Every structure is written in structure tokens, then in C-alpha cells.
Structure 1
Amino acid sequence: MKQFFLTVLGVFTGLFLFLVVVPFILIAIAVGSATSKEPTPANTVLELDLREGITDQAPTNPFALFGGGGLSTLQIVDTLAQAEDDGRVKVLLVRLPEAGITPAAADEIRQAIRRFRASGKRVIAHAQGFQPVGAAVSSYMIGASSSELWMQNTSSFQLAGLSAESVFLGRAFEKYGVNAQFEQRYEYKNAVNEFTESDYTPAHREAMGAWMTSIYTSALANAAQDRKVTPQALRANIEAGPHSSAEALRRRLIDKVGQVEEAEAEAKRRAGKGAEIIEFGDYAASKGARNGAGKNAIAIVGGEGAIMTGTGGGADPFGGGSSIMSDDLAEAIYDAIEDDAVKAIVFRVSSPGGSPDASEQILAAVRAARAAGKPVVISMGDYAASGGYWISSEADWIVAQPSTLTGSIGVYGGKLVLADALGRFGIDMRNLTVGGEYADAFSPSEPFDTADRAAFAASIDRTYEEFIARVSRGRKLPPARVREIARGRVWTGAQARSIGLVDQLGGIEEAIAKARQLAEIPNDESVRFKRYPESKSPFAALSEMFGVSGEAARVLVGIGAIMNDPEAEAAVRRLQTERARASGASVLADQPY
């Protein structure tokens, strides 16, 4: 009966969308496409606003723009590379976020800005202050890479370091009768701690302190290089804060004090007579992605988010695609393998991990590419940790940003026993089981018994050993050495390079250059770029959304999201998280940003 009602619901929902929503969407896409083709003015200022947040990769779903998504790191890098060679673009104006930006994304954007400046063009950055929350040091690092760094007169320079917050539920669970039963391999697999502890364990504190120090030190060194001061002097000035805008100017932390309108006027003056400001997204849409030219191609395969088994509907259909579905990503790699023009694959990974089975399915496709004679180069984004490292481990070459969070070679799993907690509210939970003794092992009504706990621990051990074996084979390290540097510990890209988990520091451009080298494509020969998975057409996306009637409920949640219903959006996030943290083994790293 439930399936019948879902089927009816799917039919009516589909009719409503087809007759009402879809025409509106298609008209909006057509209008947006026509608008994006307007000519770029002869003297153009590109305005890049980083305050709305960015993803690592652009979504392939054509309806994602209706979910409020903004730019992606790769889109920014790609568009700036095209703007370097566009004689009409004279100046880049960057609006900086007050509360920071993901450190690895900041590394990549800084590098793109430096290449833009190296082409002889000017960059003006404007900030409405730097707040003492999150990775504001990464936002400042981007600003420091500009030709001029402005700050509003009433704003404060409150950046004084790097901070991260952790929420521990151990005492609350104990108070309310929730029994958290987990296995972790090993002490640095800190995602479990939020359920079992009330404070940092020594290992948790050690690991977080180490990667935070690495990110902070790297950002200061980069900013000092761009500001032409010593890292020691810059650090002393920053940590002496907070500062007013006038004091920040006196200490040479910024270059000018002024409103954003004044910065815009200066940018237009620098660009030349009749200069106009064009929003970065509009210019990016008019240019499209770099395709290159030539008989040989490099495939760029992308995956972002938690790694799950399956296909298609792992994310809000109107959102940016916040999960990696193993069938889809493996198929994308196999498509690149079968394309005779593709000589090498750059695999962009931005993931905290997820299912070990899904990770192994994707890694098998990477192995197939190498067996077919197509080198695979990993380009790590914000994260490539746990399962994200699993799928990267056997590539020919790994490139990461200094601030990428990677490693986390470990595994955890378990359950929350809720019977006692619910009993306090007069809710009784009972369990019935048919079959073997392990059938109810993950029941939330009772704790593991001794035999179930031992069997589950053994499965966790097997997954951990499989992870170690893949890293050992891929990185050509003895298993004992991998165990020594693994134990679930998160490393930054800079740290990972020093211990052999990463080959090179850099971003997508460095990964493409390495892929060209491994494929033996001469430097003076043009090369094409082919992107996988390919972007879906609006009708293909709709077909996928309504392919089975059981998807109707998720579609309704998606509609709620497009209407900015916070409860619906929260439901999507909960569903995704629960799938990623399902019972059994999980290779999912903690996400401190």
C-alpha cells in the first residue's frame, strides 16, 4: 500500500513538474544562456565574490543553479586561466569572506591569482574585516596575493590565529541513556569521539593540533611571501591584534582603507576608459570550460562529497551534488578508458570518505585505467581523506594542496543503542529476529553481546588490513610503515608529502602538467580536455529523478529545498549523513571545517 501511494504521488508530482515547473526552468535556462553570450566590454573588471561560499567542483546537474549554489574552486581556476589571455579583461576585483574559506581552496585560488598577476594584470582585493572564526587566515592569504588589499574603514582586523570547534556528545548520551558502541582503527580515527567522549583524547588533540599548525604556518608563509615580509614579522603583527583598519594599515597588514565602492572605482580606473564591472559567474558562463585543442585528450574526472554505493540520487536533485555515487564515478572512469583520444586521466578528489565497498569499486576503475595504459594523476581538493584516500591510493601520481586534509587511513563502525533513552519517555523498543545470531547485531534496542562484538571487530580489522594493503601497494611502502603512519590520522598535504602519501604539492594545473608528462604528450603540442561525468541535459536529469516511483518522496524533498524550506533541506542533509554513517564499517574522516 505504501508503494502504491508513493507511485501515485510520483505520477502527480511528475505531472506538476512537467506542466508547471519544467517550462519555467527551461525558459530560465534559455534566458540565462542568452544573457551569458553578451559580449565582454573592451575594458573589463571581473568581480569575484567569495563571500557566498564555494564548492570544489561544478555540479553536473543542470538544475543545481536553482538550489542557490555558487562558484566552484575548479571553475574559478579555469576561468582565471582564460581571463589571463583575454585582452579585454584588465583587472580582477576580489571580495573576501570575513570568516574564512576552506584552506585547500584558498591555496588553489591564490595560485590562480598569482598566475593572473604574472600575465601583467592587476588584482584588487577588498575585505569587510577578518573575523576570529574558522580559517580566516586562508581568506587573508588570498587577499595578500593581490596587488592591493583594501579593508573597509569601520571593519576590524581580528584575525589572530586558526581555530576549530568540536562537539562531544559523550556526557549527554550518558545522561540520557544513549549507549554508543563503536570500534575504531585506530586511536586517531576521531570521527567516533564525538559520540563517546566529552573532551579531546590525547591522540585527537595531537592530530588536530598538528594539522592546524601546518595549515596556519603554510598560510602565513604564503602571505608573507606575497606581502614581501618575513613570516616572523607577519605573524607578530597578526597575533598582536585585534586591530582597527587604521592600525592594520599602519602595520602594513593591508594597503588601503576604503569602501568597496571606492575599490570598484579604483579597479575601473585601472582598467581604462569606459571600464565596466562584470560578475565573475557571468563571465565564466560566457566562456564555458576550457576545452583546448589537438588530437590527444586528457580526461578530467571529478568526484566531491561522501562516497556511497549506488547511482544517481545521492543528493538533492536541485543541489550541487554533495555525494560520490560509486556506480556513476566508476562509469565515468570507464568511459574515459574507452575513449581512444584520452591518453591520461586527472582524477579530482574532494571527499572525506564513506563506504569501503563504494571506495573499492572506484579504485578498481582506477586500476583498470592504469592497466589500459592510461596514467591516472590524482588532484586532491579540500579533502581526500579516509575513503577519499582509498580511491586515490593506487594512482600513478598524487598532487595535493599544502592545506588539503588527507590520509585518515583507518576505519570505524558501530551503533547507538536507544532503548534506555526512549524508555525514559515512555517509549518501549523491542526486537524480533529470524535467522542467525548475528541478524540483530545492529539492532538499536540492545547492546552487542560478546559474540556479536567480536564478529564485528573482526570485520573492522579486515577492512583496516585491506586499506593498509592498498596503500602499501599503491605507494610502494612496506605494510609496517603504512601502519605506522596510518592509525586513522589526518595529515595535511604538506605533511603527507613528507611521509610518502603525496608526491607533489599543487592544484589542478600541476596535475594536468604531470598527466601530460606521464602520457608523453610533447609540451609544444596542444591537448584537449574531456570532462567526466558529462553534464546532464535537463530532460536526462528529470528522467533520472522520476525513473522509479520510489524516488517520489525524495523529489518532494527536493522541491521543498528549491522553495527554500529549511526543514526539507535539513531532511536531505540528514539522509545523506545517515547513509554515509550506516551500520557496519565506514572509512569516513572527521571534517573539522
Structure 2
Amino acid sequence: MKDFIKYVGATITGIVMLSVIVGILGVISLVGLAASTASTVQVKDGSVFTLVLKNNIDERGTDNPIGFLNGSDTTIDGLNDIISAIHKAKDNENIKGIYIQADGMATDSPASLHAIREALLDFKKSGKWIISYSDGYSQSEYYLCSVADQILLNPQGQIGWHGLAAEPVFYKDLLAKFGVKFELCKVGKYKSAPEQVTADGMSEANREQVTAYVTGIWKVMLKDVSASRKISTDSLNAYADRFMDLADAQELIKLRLIDKTMYADEVKNVIKKRLDIDTDTDIPQLSLGDMLNVEDKKNRGDKVAVYYAYGDIVDEDNSNPMNPQTCIVGKDMCKDLEELADDDDVKAVVLRVNSPGGSAYASEQIWHAVTKLKAKKPVVVSMGGYAASGGYYISCAANYIYSDPTTITGSIGIFGMFLNYSELMKDKLGIKFDEVKTNKHANFGTRSRFFNAEEMAILDKYIGKGYELFRKRVADGRKMSVAQVEQIAQGRVWLGNDALKIHLVDGIGSLDEAVKKAAQLAKLDEYYASEYQTPSSWYETLLASASGNSGSYLDEQMQATFGELYEPLRYIKQVENMSKIQARLPYFLTIR
């Protein structure tokens, strides 16, 4: 009887839960339908585009529809959306200016910041104005906002201006305390990705390359701020050495780093003066979301597809089944590129690559798909913050390659990294192993012991063949000899400006310039860019988060707890699911 009551109760509970879920889905469907049929935003004369720098910035934006339930706000603004909005604001005669509100932007991608800054500079060519305000600018925010005609700061605020630093984290000794070690095979003296778990400090080769690209990024920042603020680069460097983060606001004005101090509620009067309207008149404002719904009148002519390839390159997506944009799944991208090749409406393709690399196998498959696509129509690569190792592998076959000045690229090399728990199991846990085998290498790769010398020789030979193949792909794609590629390979990381000098890329330019080049190669007179993949809808993201399969809530808590250490910890967590042979960038570097 007790069991009967228990089962009946469970059934009733299940029915109630199902009803609630169906109800939620119904509401979601209605709201989604309403959102999808939203009308185009009409722009009033004298409008201002208000760009709030508050969220993370990724290649493409995502929403966090359940953030209000758990108190988090992990909305991510899309670089593509921001730049599109700036272009629309430039072309719309009713929009008179842009107001940038720096409110804690959380991005450390120099390439993304540079791309937005370049779009803002282009906006100013129309004769329109830009004003920025913040209670306190981070260095990244200040770099971006230095493009403004007026930089306004709270009287008690500060700006970040101190230079750049890269601080890789090493986990070898921590793992050793638990009896966990990594065994490594690699090709390329600069191929330093495994160092974080196989060493306790930077190798001299890695220090050389990190110094080169951190210094290179800082030079770009100095040059850009210097041009906008009319301050010499030597002076800006001297200010950084003085650590301007704690400087008084009046000193910042004296040094011409900012223009005025005022409180947030006073900024609207500055804008009204720019608009030449009365102080009691409301300012017509457009948010980023509003700008995305402003009509784009340029969608005419032939189609140039823009395909976004960003995140780790993987064989299988083990992260979030409802949000495949978080990584590049080899077989999925190959299928997508095949569809683009067969789509007669698509006349050319731009691959927007922002990837530190990953699986060497998946990178090779994508390379093959790119070559097949290029046989039918022009392919141009636009590099984002990273297009290194596997990210460069999938780019090198394109007809033309653009990078940002601060893109981190190259890293032509591969490695194999194998997690070994034998000391943990034997010495720490007391687990014993025995074996029976039919052949000499039948237990190759067992976790009960480390690889022996003969097995390491087999692995080294296999890794070497992979490196030779990678090097050959680059040589063929860039029309260089293998010997020429070897001189710039060995896993060496290059900044975009330097990559141009050694012919790893063809030009320094934006995504828009890549689209223009693709149209030129396809001999198109009139064209428009069309993003190929449709991002997951907000209600799909909601279902993924609510289902518990995505692990998004746990990831949020981990990221909140560990901060900048989250990426290296996630990397270690994912090693077991990774392809054992990797073409990957060194570390997850935090550049301050």
C-alpha cells in the first residue's frame, strides 16, 4: 500500500511538473513570436546612439534569459552587432552623435577593442560627434573611448593607464601534489601551450615571443591614443610608468588625458548643447538593441556570406549542445562549408576566424573543406583576436587573409599531451595493477604507468609527421617553400603587424574590408554581407540552461569564484575530452 501511494504521488508530481513546463514553453513561444514580429525601429531626427560598455564582448552576442532568476548578468555583446550599429549610426542622417557610457566593460581582447575603435573613427568621418563618460575608465575602456571628441570623467573617478602585462599560470607542482602528471610530445621550440602543466615557469623561447607581442600590442595602443589625444607616445609611456590609475582627476585634465570632470546627471546637458536643444527637452536615444532593428538599406545585390568560426577547434562538442557557437566542431564546420559551396546564391565567403586552435585532426578536415570551397568561389579570411595554431591551419588555404594589427596568429606547430594518473592511483590511493597482453604494445597508453622510451619514440614520430603536414599546408596556401615556412614556424606566435611582414597574412584590415575584398575577387558590382549561421535564440538558451545539460549555471559560478583563473582550470577539466594531438596557442593569457 505504501509503495502504491508512493508511486501515485510520484505520478501526480510528474504531471504537475509537466504542466508547469508546458505552460512555460507556451509563454516562451508567445513572447518569441512577438519578438520575431517586432517592427523596424523608426529613428527620430536629432537622435543619439547610446553605446553602453558594460558587458563582455564576443564575436557574436548572446543573452542570459534566466540571469534575473539567479541574480547574474552574463549577457555578452556581439562585436558584429556593435560595429553594425556604429555603421548604421553613421549612415542615418537622423542620428547626430554617439554617447559612450563606460560602465565596467569586461573584455581583454585588443583586437576587438581596435575593431570597435576603427569603426568609431570611421563614424567621425561623417562629421558627427562622439562623447564618452565614466565614473572610472579601465585601461581597455580608456583606449576605446580615447577616440571621442570629449572624454568626461566623474570628479572622483580614475582612468586606467599603466601598460600591459601577461601573467601565465603554471599548475605542474599543484598537480604533482595529487600524483597527476602530463606526458608531452611536441614539435617547435616556441610551442609552449603545454608549459602551464608541464613546467613551473616560461621557457626562454616563450618569453621571447610573449614579450614581442605584448610590446607590439602596447605600441598600437600608444599610437592610437596619441593620434586621438594629440599626446606624444613618449609622454603616454611616461604617464604609464607613473601609474595614472590613482592620479587626481585635475591632473588628468592637465595632462590632456581627459577633457572635463562632471557628474553623471550633468552629461545630458553637454549632449543637449551638441544637439542644440533646450535643457528641458528629452534626448531621443537609441540603445544597441534599438540599432539592431534600424533598417539597413545596403542589403542589395549579390550575397557574400560571412561564416563565424570562433572558439576552440574540437572533434566533438562536449560543452553546450544548445549553443554550438562556443566552439568550432570540425565535422559541423565541414558540413556548413560544403553547403556554402553548393549555394548558388552565395558568390563569395568570408571566414571570420577567432580561435586559439585545438584538435589537429579537426583542423586538417576543415582545411580540406576550405580548399574545396575555394575551388568554387573566393574565400577570404578575416582574423579576430586569435587565429593561431589550428586557427591559422584553417585559414592558410584562403585566397586572401586580413588580420587586425593586434591579432595573435601563426603558432605553426603541434603537440601531444597525455594525462597520467599512475602515481595518484598507486602511491596516493593504493590501487595496484597487473597485466596480461598478447603483443608488445597491446597496453600502449595505459594509465597504470608512464610511456617507455620506445613508446615515446613512436609518439614523437607521429607528432613529427603531423607537423610536416601542417607546414606543407601553410607552404601551399601561402605560396612559400617549406624551408621558408620553417624559418617562421616552430610554434612561433606572431602579432598581426609582424605577420604581414613575413607573409603569413596579406593585409591589415577589418571584417568590412575582407567582405569588400571577397566581392572584388568574385567580380561583384553590387553586394551585401550576410551572416551564415543563425545564433541560438534566447528561448533555446533558456531551455539549455534550465535543462541542466549545458552546465551553464555551474560554469557561471565557477567563473565568478575563480575569475581570471577560470580558463586554465576549464582547460585542465577538458583535457580528457580533447583530441590528444593539438595545434593550440600557448596558455590562456591574461593581458592587463
**Normalised-by-shorter TM-score class:** 0.7 to 0.9
Q: Which residue number in structure 1 is paired with residue 79 of structure 2? A: 73
Contact 2:28 2:539 in 1 (8 A): no
User: Residues 289 and 88 (structure 1 numbering): CA distance in 2 closer, same or farther, change over 3 Å?
Assistant: closer
Contact 1:459 1:585 in 2 (8 A): no
User: Residues 363 and 20 (structure 1 numbering): CA distance in 2 closer, same or farther, change over 3 Å?
Assistant: farther
The DSSP-based 3-state class of the residue aligned with 2:347 is strand
Q: Which residue number in structure 1 is paired with residue 11 of structure 2? A: none
Correspondences of 1:9-408 after superposition (within 5 Å): 19-33=22-36, 37-58=40-61, 68-96=74-102, 97=104, 101-131=108-138, 136=139, 138-242=140-244, 243-273=247-277, 274-276=281-283, 278=285, 280-287=287-294, 292-294=299-301, 296-310=302-316, 313-317=317-321, 321-372=325-376, 374-408=377-411
Distance 1:584 1:451 in 2: 19
In the superposition, the TM-score normalised over structure 1's length comes to 0.85
Question: How many Å apart are 1:144 and its aligned residue?
Answer: 1.3
Distance 1:328 1:569 in 2: 31
Q: Is 1:468 paired with 2:471?
A: yes
Distance 1:87 1:18 in 2: 47
The DSSP-based 3-state class of the residue aligned with 1:237 is helix
Contact 1:78 1:289 in 2 (8 A): no
User: Residues 408 and 281 (structure 1 numbering): CA distance in 2 closer, same or farther, change over 3 Å?
Assistant: same
User: Residues 554 and 154 (structure 1 numbering): CA distance in 2 closer, same or farther, change over 3 Å?
Assistant: closer
- Provide the aligned length of Structure 1 versus Structure 2: 562
Greater shift after overlay, 191-200 or 233-242? Answer: 233-242
Distance 1:466 1:13 in 2: 58
Greater shift after overlay, 199-208 or 421-430? Answer: 421-430
Contact 1:414 1:583 in 2 (8 A): no
Question: How many Å apart are 1:63 and its aligned residue?
Answer: 7.7
Distance 1:315 1:116 in 2: 38
Distance 2:558 2:75 in 1: 18
User: Residues 564 and 343 (structure 1 numbering): CA distance in 2 closer, same or farther, change over 3 Å?
Assistant: closer
Distance 1:301 1:13 in 2: 43
Greater shift after overlay, 85-94 or 219-228? Answer: 85-94
The DSSP-based 3-state class of the residue aligned with 1:90 is strand
Letter in 2 for 1:80: I
Letter in 1 for 2:168: S
Contact 1:561 1:568 in 2 (8 A): no
The DSSP-based 3-state class of the residue aligned with 1:126 is strand
Letter in 1 for 2:290: Y
Question: How many Å apart are 1:21 and its aligned residue?
Answer: 4.0
Larger of the two Rg values belongs to structure: 2
The DSSP-based 3-state class of the residue aligned with 2:386 is strand
Question: How many Å apart are 1:390 and its aligned residue?
Answer: 0.3
Q: Which residue number in structure 1 is paired with residue 552 of structure 2? A: 561
Question: How many Å apart are 1:238 and its aligned residue?
Answer: 3.3
Contact 1:58 1:320 in 2 (8 A): no
Distance 2:437 2:83 in 1: 56
Superposed CA deviations along residues 401-437 of structure 1, whole A, max 9, x for unmatched, are 0011111111111223222234454352647687755
Superposed CA deviations along residues 152-202 of structure 1, whole A, max 9, x for unmatched, are 221223421101211112333344433321112222111111112112111
Q: Is 1:504 paired with 2:507?
A: yes
Identity in percent: 28
Distance 1:436 1:269 in 2: 84
User: Residues 469 and 568 (structure 1 numbering): CA distance in 2 closer, same or farther, change over 3 Å?
Assistant: same
Distance 1:481 1:177 in 2: 43
Greater shift after overlay, 424-433 or 81-90? Answer: 424-433
User: Residues 140 and 176 (structure 1 numbering): CA distance in 2 closer, same or farther, change over 3 Å?
Assistant: same
Distance 2:365 2:20 in 1: 35
Q: Which residue number in structure 2 is paired with residue 584 of structure 1? A: 580
The DSSP-based 3-state class of the residue aligned with 2:271 is helix
Question: How many Å apart are 1:325 and its aligned residue?
Answer: 1.3
Letter in 2 for 1:342: V
Distance 2:487 2:253 in 1: 47
Question: How many Å apart are 1:350 and its aligned residue?
Answer: 0.6
- Consecutive unaligned residues in structure 1, runs of 5 or more: 1-10, 546-552
Question: How many Å apart are 1:467 and its aligned residue?
Answer: 0.7
Superposed CA deviations along residues 445-486 of structure 1, whole A, max 9, x for unmatched, are 311122221111111111111110011111111111211211
The DSSP-based 3-state class of the residue aligned with 1:190 is coil
Greater shift after overlay, 204-213 or 87-96? Answer: 87-96
Distance 2:211 2:306 in 1: 34
Question: How many Å apart are 1:495 and its aligned residue?
Answer: 1.2
Contact 1:315 1:321 in 2 (8 A): no
The DSSP-based 3-state class of the residue aligned with 2:348 is strand
Distance 2:51 2:434 in 1: 56
The DSSP-based 3-state class of the residue aligned with 1:109 is helix
Question: How many Å apart are 1:399 and its aligned residue?
Answer: 0.4
Contact 1:380 1:401 in 2 (8 A): yes
Question: How many Å apart are 1:314 and its aligned residue?
Answer: 4.6
Q: Is 1:514 paired with 2:506?
A: no
Question: How many Å apart are 1:351 and its aligned residue?
Answer: 0.5
Distance 1:315 1:386 in 2: 21
Distance 2:371 2:65 in 1: 33
Letter in 1 for 2:584: L
The DSSP-based 3-state class of the residue aligned with 1:74 is helix
The DSSP-based 3-state class of the residue aligned with 2:184 is strand
